[in-house]
Structure 1
């Protein structure tokens, strides 16, 4: 057999595949070893007979399952379109060579083609250290949406370096760098972004096109630029760049209750939005308002729900419906005002609004700004977050509630006793600044301010919510570079809501983030009795803390510029008795000031809905307006 195999090999190498096939076929008939089967399989490949080749490579693996034989069989299975056998041989090889990026790519691709992308995650780690562009692209697809695994930072750094002119790759890397507090990368990325964003008179810079509206707000407080970030927004098929508020179908009923529809994926009691909103939903006057929740909340949350969601309104599940089916359902229900609670945030179904489903369509609460490419008539704000000067940057008309745009629930929100500093690992007798916004809001501007404060008060601590070892190392390194001692930083992790409210009470002063303030984070701190210090902002997202502090009666904690904020924070840390007075004011106002007065808020909101509906009934186009405030409440509401 040795002589015939040598002759067959010479024929194969000389390109005489028919002669090689003749010789090898006779050897197979006599019983063949793995070498004969492999050479015959390679010959079949040269003749375009991949499936026959795969059968032979499989037999060779059965006789001698070397890594080379497994790789050859797996690669042949891919060419033959046999993903089942590609996975069979590929996974056997991956067990032997778990760091082999080529093998991982083969297996991951086969999983994806077979419709099991989740299983591809089993091998994705092997792709991270590869410099092969194909491997980097595949890894980016498999790590997309991750915000916990440090490998995602490596993958998207490589992708950004590979695709330097791709705005989506650059914007994604910028977003991930924020999550992991990679301030060195952010400094470079933001510098390039700022240079690219100046000339917007004639076109939108590519870097802006690559950003989602939410990602843009994390570092940009320029309302003119905010509306140019369009990645992830619905595709437009009109010539106009934005929708304009306009008359729709008119409301025919004038004596029946207004039919209000709320659209969201957050209709479960554990979500931050519902901690704000559920009291208002419950308090709606059912004689005047018929409330329907168009719920596209994921089943994992609704099935685990323990509270009675029906007290919020009639629930219509649309999770399994297409946008067209959902739009048809809403129209059939005769909804007068459809309120989208998501806007340009993850999990939205805002393309439903582009189906023109209700006489009045409103954006509220979920997204702090104008909703690019979403067909809304109104955005609900207040005099602080949406002053008249903001109107040119909104295609929606602005409805200003009189005190704050943000609802709050004082009835179902936990308010446990404080956790002691000893239990939290915080020392007694030292001033504790609390920073509990997510890391993506902790911009370079923000940590520069924090570092300046801490340098001036070296005995003070920064108790900061940073999760994950990589992010913590990066944050500590950045603060050290700004002259802050490691001993001044205490890291906090995530906690269940009740535990979080309990621990907040151990701090002295909350530090806000800029330009994207704390929103629910700030109201949670105020609810816990923790004062928060902030800056006056230039767009909706950067004005929220000012709105909340004003509504709770602490407008003096809103400072006009960075230096004023730094000076005030330092002064409070040096005179902690003033913090005691601030906390007394805050706690005294908690049950009487407008911020947590859900009943008062609901009445203002209902007045807004009635005015919107009346304009629609009269076939008048939407117009901006201010809701007048009710007389000041006398006494406590809780």
Structure 2
């Protein structure tokens, strides 16, 4: 009888080990259950059962098995360590950390326990301690490739990118087939602005694991940065093919195709809408031009935020009596020759330095151009924080006593929203960079106006709304316009024909709107459409689309990018700016109006689709705002065929530039300062954020 039991036990343990090694975890659990029946007092079997359940994704069951092992042997360090890993998977990070500590107390030289502690500490945002734990694990097990790999991931989060690359290299040296290490090494190299090396690293990951969807996605990102847009789209498409549930890759693929104006024939809208409003997360910015739906934009932001900032530890700030000066921190990657600075430069210069201490926190490239110097000359302190982690930047802001942190990036390119997840200041505001809600609890306010976010649309924003008078958009009323206005012929434009223009980025152009523009060209003899030359794929596709709609493709003319003063001057060669619908012209709209070029728009649902209406209202031209595509088309046709009416609009625009609020930088600055005083005062009195409306400043 005993021999039969022994044979049964031996057979089952071999099968259980084989199933476990093959990843057939549920079958392993079944065999181990029989083993436990034969030997009910074996802590090793319960530990094995825990590992098999964890492999099957049954983490609660795994913890129960580990607890049985520990009950039999309270000094079983390995079971405590494994239990910690299962607790981590359930999001019970403090319990997991406690379990790691118990494992280490019982067996200080257990490398896995120190490594698991590092993983948990990373989840808790305690990155320095996580690196220290990995260092111990590596010292205890010098050939610990996983330890070097995980250590590198934390160093990357800490923005210690060179050290991260070194640690990835050590992981790869120990485990040459470590595809994930190659892929994440590429991410670190991309952040170091070494894109060709990053590309090589992604290629190595894909050679090692041809079905590595994440590596294809990362490869797509660096190819997009290198302006190899067609290859980027192919790489994203391969990531989606390999992993149909890879929602972030789906979103990037759609946006990449929008950049190239690569449309499916006949597509006028998305049904269903772009990804990111179900279970998976994708960048909210990419969808702004693909659909105009404020509810979906908010949902997409919430899902993205839950995926990217799920467990960040917020610092607490205690209310205290308000004092002056109020310290304002502006955070951006764009403090150089960039659209954000074109709008904001005068704000920094006209801030009341007696009432406000202005700090700039720059986490973008160190470009020493004229706009960067202009900013440095205007602010109280300039902090170059590109090499610091999100938490370290938030700590620096806190130590500088910043009262209000203003996020100028939101979810746009190179954003670092994690800074605000760590609470850089008691009051945090979403302003200007991202035209929509962040969908998070750590951004208190969004600055807008009554056109951008009317009262009935406030529920589409997680932030409380600060409604500024006039337009929310600050402008620089000292921007220079070159006196050298080119001849139309030098720009490829007809000397006498009517010039419709839209100098927005091409990704904002959607098929239904392009169809409308082509009807205008067909109905206005000799007219042309003047667009921005963004990339060769978009140019070719737009011309092909024109031809498919019965319009000579040569009537679609493209403008190269130009220095700001020259770009503003050439607006004189156009007759009418045609706005895009889902994502309006923003800086581009104020460029046109500042240069004296009328613009027509259709007001939409979401923030991004209401910006041009805000600008036109602030400059006193509500007659150029329409509420439907039909009204927009009719207005464009009327202005193109009624020279007297268009001339009257031109005169009104030139007069209103000098008398309305849109291009009055000092007035807009005072309005924004009123907003800061209002929200800072509420915090100082211990009051929660609320929707608020700033009255128009007078006497400026």
Same fold, TM-score > 0.5, yes or no: yes
Secondary structure at the counterpart of residue 330 of structure 2? strand
Alignment of 1:466-481 (within 5 A): 466-481=533-548
Cα gap change, 1:110 to 1:182, in 2 (>3 Å): closer
Q: Which residue of 1 aligns with 2:236?
A: 156
Q: Which residue of 2 aligns with 1:527?
A: 594
Task: Select which of 268, 287, 295 maps to 1:224.
Answer: 295
Cα gap change, 1:305 to 1:444, in 2 (>3 Å): same
Cα gap change, 1:472 to 1:631, in 2 (>3 Å): same
CA distance in 2, matches of 1:620, 1:579: 50
CA distance in 1, matches of 2:371, 2:640: 43
Work out whether residues 481 and 566 of structure 2, in 8 Å CA contact, stay in contact via their aligned partners in 1: no
Work out whether residues 186 and 198 of structure 2, in 8 Å CA contact, stay in contact via their aligned partners in 1: no
Cα gap change, 1:162 to 1:576, in 2 (>3 Å): farther
Q: Which residue of 1 aligns with 2:257?
A: 177
Task: Select which of 196, 205, 208 maps to 2:278.
Answer: 205
Deviation digits for residues 336-366 of structure 1 (CA, Å, limit 9, x no counterpart): 2111111111222221222233221111111
Secondary structure at the counterpart of residue 380 of structure 1? strand
Secondary structure at the counterpart of residue 190 of structure 1? coil
| TM-fit CA distance, 1:82 | 6.2
1:309 paired with 2:376, answer yes
Work out whether residues 174 and 189 of structure 1, in 8 Å CA contact, stay in contact via their aligned partners in 2: no
Work out whether residues 397 and 623 of structure 1, in 8 Å CA contact, stay in contact via their aligned partners in 2: yes
Aligned length: 519
| TM-fit CA distance, 1:573 | 1.1
Work out whether residues 445 and 514 of structure 1, in 8 Å CA contact, stay in contact via their aligned partners in 2: no
Deviation digits for residues 120-156 of structure 1 (CA, Å, limit 9, x no counterpart): 46769999x99x9548865543231444213223333
Alignment of 1:315-394 (within 5 A): 315-373=382-440, 375-394=442-461
Cα gap change, 1:435 to 1:344, in 2 (>3 Å): same
| TM-fit CA distance, 1:192 | 4.2
Work out whether residues 338 and 361 of structure 1, in 8 Å CA contact, stay in contact via their aligned partners in 2: yes
CA distance in 2, matches of 1:382, 1:85: 56
Cα gap change, 1:437 to 1:81, in 2 (>3 Å): closer
Q: Which residue of 1 aligns with 2:327?
A: 259
Cα gap change, 1:589 to 1:417, in 2 (>3 Å): farther
Cα RMSD, aligned residues only: 3.6
| TM-fit CA distance, 1:604 | 0.8
Work out whether residues 182 and 474 of structure 1, in 8 Å CA contact, stay in contact via their aligned partners in 2: yes
Secondary structure at the counterpart of residue 330 of structure 1? helix
Work out whether residues 216 and 239 of structure 2, in 8 Å CA contact, stay in contact via their aligned partners in 1: no
Q: Which residue of 2 aligns with 1:37?
A: none
Q: Which residue of 1 aligns with 2:688?
A: 621
Deviation digits for residues 27-48 of structure 1 (CA, Å, limit 9, x no counterpart): xxxxxxxxxxxxxxxxxxxxxx
Alignment of 1:405-420 (within 5 A): 405-420=472-487
Work out whether residues 415 and 528 of structure 1, in 8 Å CA contact, stay in contact via their aligned partners in 2: no
Cα gap change, 1:631 to 1:189, in 2 (>3 Å): closer
Cα gap change, 1:369 to 1:574, in 2 (>3 Å): same
CA distance in 1, matches of 2:579, 2:201: 37
| TM-fit CA distance, 1:281 | 1.1
Cα gap change, 1:559 to 1:253, in 2 (>3 Å): closer
Deviation digits for residues 285-304 of structure 1 (CA, Å, limit 9, x no counterpart): 11111111122231245699
| TM-fit CA distance, 1:83 | 10
| TM-fit CA distance, 1:461 | 0.4
Task: Select which of 594, 616, 628 maps to 2:661.
Answer: 594
| TM-fit CA distance, 1:305 | 4.5
Alignment of 1:492-571 (within 5 A): 492-571=559-638
Q: Which residue of 2 aligns with 1:26?
A: none
List gaps (5 residues or longer) in structure 1. Answer: 1-77, 87-104, 198-203, 634-638
Secondary structure at the counterpart of residue 659 of structure 2? coil
Work out whether residues 500 and 577 of structure 2, in 8 Å CA contact, stay in contact via their aligned partners in 1: yes
Cα gap change, 1:594 to 1:305, in 2 (>3 Å): closer
CA distance in 1, matches of 2:573, 2:371: 31
Work out whether residues 247 and 622 of structure 1, in 8 Å CA contact, stay in contact via their aligned partners in 2: no
CA distance in 1, matches of 2:695, 2:186: 56
Q: Which residue of 1 aligns with 2:642?
A: 575
Q: Which residue of 2 aligns with 1:484?
A: 551
| TM-fit CA distance, 1:220 | 2.1
Which has the bigger relative contact order, CA under 8 A and spacing at least 6?
A: 1
Work out whether residues 499 and 529 of structure 2, in 8 Å CA contact, stay in contact via their aligned partners in 1: yes
Work out whether residues 382 and 405 of structure 1, in 8 Å CA contact, stay in contact via their aligned partners in 2: yes
Task: Select which of 166, 184, 188 maps to 2:246.
Answer: 166
| TM-fit CA distance, 1:251 | 3.5
Work out whether residues 378 and 396 of structure 1, in 8 Å CA contact, stay in contact via their aligned partners in 2: yes
Work out whether residues 466 and 492 of structure 1, in 8 Å CA contact, stay in contact via their aligned partners in 2: yes
CA distance in 1, matches of 2:232, 2:428: 38
| TM-fit CA distance, 1:565 | 0.6
Deviation digits for residues 308-333 of structure 1 (CA, Å, limit 9, x no counterpart): 62223321222222222212211112
CA distance in 2, matches of 1:456, 1:418: 29
CA distance in 2, matches of 1:490, 1:619: 57
Work out whether residues 500 and 576 of structure 2, in 8 Å CA contact, stay in contact via their aligned partners in 1: yes
Secondary structure at the counterpart of residue 462 of structure 1? strand
CA distance in 2, matches of 1:534, 1:307: 33
Deviation digits for residues 529-550 of structure 1 (CA, Å, limit 9, x no counterpart): 1111100111111000000011
Q: Which residue of 2 aligns with 1:49?
A: none
CA distance in 1, matches of 2:283, 2:185: 29
Deviation digits for residues 528-587 of structure 1 (CA, Å, limit 9, x no counterpart): 111111001111110000000111111110011110110110111112333222222212
Task: Select which of 143, 167, 188 maps to 2:220.
Answer: 143
Work out whether residues 247 and 620 of structure 1, in 8 Å CA contact, stay in contact via their aligned partners in 2: no
Q: Which residue of 2 aligns with 1:299?
A: 366
Work out whether residues 603 and 627 of structure 2, in 8 Å CA contact, stay in contact via their aligned partners in 1: yes
CA distance in 2, matches of 1:350, 1:398: 19
Deviation digits for residues 63-102 of structure 1 (CA, Å, limit 9, x no counterpart): xxxxxxxxxxxxxxx9x9769999xxxxxxxxxxxxxxxx
| TM-fit CA distance, 1:232 | 5.4
Deviates more, 1:372-381 or 1:307-316: 307-316
| TM-fit CA distance, 1:481 | 2.3
CA distance in 1, matches of 2:624, 2:402: 42
Work out whether residues 529 and 555 of structure 2, in 8 Å CA contact, stay in contact via their aligned partners in 1: yes
Work out whether residues 531 and 557 of structure 2, in 8 Å CA contact, stay in contact via their aligned partners in 1: yes
CA distance in 2, matches of 1:385, 1:187: 28
Work out whether residues 251 and 359 of structure 1, in 8 Å CA contact, stay in contact via their aligned partners in 2: no
Work out whether residues 83 and 110 of structure 1, in 8 Å CA contact, stay in contact via their aligned partners in 2: no
List gaps (5 residues or longer) in structure 2. Answer: 1-168
